Amino acid sequence: AALPREEALAEVRRVAREVFGYEQLREGQEEAMAALLAGHDVLLVMPTGGGKSAVYQVPAVLMQGPTLVVSPLIALQQDQVEGLREHGAETEAYAVSSATSARERREAWEAVRQGDAEFLFLAPEQLANPEVLERVRALRPSLVAVDEAHAVSSWGHDFRPDYLRLGEFIDALGRPRVIALTATAAPQVRDDIVEHLRMRDPEVVVKGFARTNIDLQVVRLRSDAEKRDEVLLRTAAEAKPLILYTATRRDTEEYAEAVAELGLRAAAYHGGMRAGDREEVQQRFMAGELDVIVATNAFGMGIDKADIRTVVHATVPDSPDSYYQEVGRAGRDGEPSSAVLFYRPEDLGLRRFFTTSAPDEEQVEQVARAIERTGADPSDRDDRAELRERTGLGPRKLGRIVNLLEDVEDDRRGDPHAAAERAVELAEAQRTMERSRLEMMRGYAETTGCRRQFMLSYFGEELPEPCGHCDTCRAGTAEEVPDVADAPFALQERVRHEQFGEGVVMGYEGDPDRVTVLFDESGYRTLALEAVRRSDLLEPAD
């Protein structure tokens, strides 16, 4: 049953305090919890460490019936289960996964069946087992929390086909309320989550990305030659501890050596190092024995060091999602911190789009037919080898095609031609998306407007005023609107363009008649940044 909002809030605060020991709820937490208790499905977008788990855990205690938590990371499930148990009987939790023993699983099912469990953690593939699904249904869960929900989306950075059927499973459970949790905010990902989980009239809550204690700066490089020295100078000058992100493994080692020569305690970290070495570097950094860690983007998952003062990127990353996530590792303690991005347009990798193309439809259809005919399971290694032999395709290309087919499989089963058509369409759309992410990074680096407002527009969180804590704000360009006779559009104002549809004004780069606009949908559900003539812009149709 749904609670009126005011009552729900009071209850939420009480449980947060009494059961979980949270004296105060954070921005966004309360709102999302109240929406859930008011009977809505909720999509919650918050950065890592923002406190997403509490948002389903607190209402779960208040709702009748157990809560099913779907989470792909088995290792983390155990941590969560133990964490919940610490709060007492009201938050008793169990996990059932391939990592638990048969006996543990039996005990868990017995406990949940007897009504002793408030939380049941499952990996998504477990639900594909009809027996498991039936057991869960019999528990009549009142809430399903889908953790890492971006995994339903092929736009996301770690798409899992297992997640695609969750909507169907949730239907089979009789449609309990659903809360989807993610730190990935790209609008396409959000749409996919709502669609695939079949969420009904969901409330979307996006909070916690502002992080105004982190000062945002961009350094524009004129040439590749000056990059190394500029990066080193800056790395030496900024507050420590500092993470220096570089594009390649080799760069991490070269920079680490150069930083060490400046007399700083530095070490490299990348995915190609032995696990033991990596662990040791990470430990030293955590323990404060390093001033600088020079890393590829392999570094950071699960890093919870509160006092990182600076994050420097020697090269522009390929999406605002990953850039902002990496930046967000600074200043977790709330103290002043900074993020410095070294930018050269040539580093954006836009060239790729003129030299690569989507896979050829005939090839895709050939693979689809081969799978159809042989009943091969592409996730099986032997089957995959056979597919390779039959189609004559290389492993990379085949892998790419198989992934695309898996993604469209649901609606095109048994029709290789339609599947191939759809798969190529999807590949094209993904390319467009990838390109628009790069365009967003270019826009972020080149905007004359407030950088934080720019980022947050992308994430869908509103920041009404320029932040005052970025280089453009300090330079006074953030609010600068060119001086022209007829009223120009203000920064962040919504506008409409005949061809590109609706969007938000992001900046005036030098030329008062050229306006950079972030368009919501141009072509296939994609954000696009375009410089257009001011005279082509209109007020939005309400």
Nearer of residues 38 and 76 to ligand ADP, judged by Cβ: 76
CB of 51 to ligand ADP, least distance (A): 3
**How many residues bind ligand ADP, per CB under 6 A?**
13
Least separation in angstroms between residue 472's CB and Zn ion is 6
Please tell me whether residue 13 binds ligand ADP under the rule CB under 6 A: no
Distance, in Å, from the CA atom of 444 to the CA atom of 461, rounded to the nearest integer, reads 16
Query: Of 34 and 232, which CB lies nearer to ligand ADP in the complex structure?
Result: 34
Q: Which stretch binds ligand ADP (CB under 6 A): 18-26, 32-40, 91-99, 324-332?
A: 18-26
| Chain contacts with Zn ion (rule: CB under 5 A) | 450, 452, 466-467, 470, 473
Q: How far is the CB of 179 from ligand ADP (least distance, A)?
A: 12
- Of the pair 25, 393, the CB lying nearest ligand ADP is at 25
Q: Which does 470 bind (CB under 5 to 8 A by kind): Zn ion, ligand ADP, none?
A: Zn ion
Q: How far is the CB of 452 from Zn ion (least distance, A)?
A: 5
Look up residue 20 and give its DSSP letter: T
Using CB under 6 A as the criterion, what x/- string covers residues 20-59 for binding ligand ADP? --x-xxx--x----------------x-xxxxxxx-----
| 525/542 Cα distance (integer angstroms) | 20
Q: Which of ligand ADP, Zn ion, none does residue 405 bind (CB under 5 to 8 Å by kind)?
A: none
* H-run or E-run covering 515: strand 514-519
DSSP string, 126-189: HHTSHHHHHHHHHT--SEEEETTGGGG-TTSTT--GGGGGHHHHHHHTT--EEEEEES---HHH
Judged by beta carbon distances under 5 to 8 A according to partner kind, the member of Zn ion, ligand ADP, none in contact with residue 48 is ligand ADP
Q: How far apart are CA 142 and CA 2, in angstroms?
A: 11
Q: Which of 32/450 has CB closer to Zn ion?
A: 450
Of residues 396, 393, 426, the one with CA closest to residue 409: 426
Three state DSSP letters for 283-311: HHHHCCCCCEEEECCCCCCCCCCCCCCEE
| Cβ nearer to Zn ion, comparing 32 with 473 | 473
Which of Zn ion, ligand ADP, none lies near 46, with the C-beta cut-off 5 to 8 A by kind?
Answer: ligand ADP
- Token look-up 């939420």 returns 12
Report which residue's Cβ sits closest to ligand ADP.
51
Q: How far is the CB of 467 from Zn ion (least distance, A)?
A: 4
Rounded-to-integer distance, Cα 448 and Cα 127, Å: 49
- 505 lies in the binding site for ligand ADP (CB under 6 A): no
78 near ligand ADP (CB under 6 A): no
Residue that the structure tokens 């606009």 belong to: 517
* Residue 211 binds ligand ADP, judged by CB under 6 A: no
450's contact among ligand ADP, Zn ion, none, with CB below 5 to 8 A by partner kind, is Zn ion
Residues 72 and 147: beta-carbon distance below 8 Å: yes
Distance from C-alpha of 155 to C-alpha of 526, rounded to nearest angstrom: 11
Beta bridge partners of 204: 43
Minimum distance between the CB of residue 48 and ligand ADP, rounded to whole angstroms? 4
452 binds, among Zn ion, ligand ADP, none (CB under 5 to 8 A by kind): Zn ion
Tell me the closest approach of the beta carbon of residue 470 to ligand ADP, in angstroms: 24
- Of the pair 123, 218, the CB lying nearest ligand ADP is at 123
Lookup: tokens for 260:
């060490």
Residue spans of beta strands (DSSP E) within 393-513: 494-497, 501-507
Distance of closest approach, residue 451 Cβ to Zn ion, in angstroms: 5
Local structure of 388: helix, strand or coil:
helix
Residue nearer to ligand ADP on the CB measure, 24 or 535: 24
Write the DSSP symbol of residue 89.
G
Instruction: Please list, in sequence order, all residues whose beta carbon lies within 8 angstroms of the beta carbon of residue 504, skipping any fewer than 6 positions away.
Output: 457, 492, 493, 494, 495, 517, 518
- Please report how close the Cβ of residue 465 comes to Zn ion at its closest, in angstroms: 9
197: helix, coil or strand?
coil
Name, in order, each residue with C-beta under 8 angstroms of 147's C-beta and a sequence gap of 6 or more. Answer: 52, 53, 69, 70, 71, 72, 73, 181
Q: Could you tell which of Zn ion, ligand ADP, none binds residue 473, using a CB distance below 5 to 8 A set by kind? A: Zn ion
Instruction: Point out which residues bind ligand ADP (CB under 6 A).
Output: 22, 24-26, 29, 46, 48-54
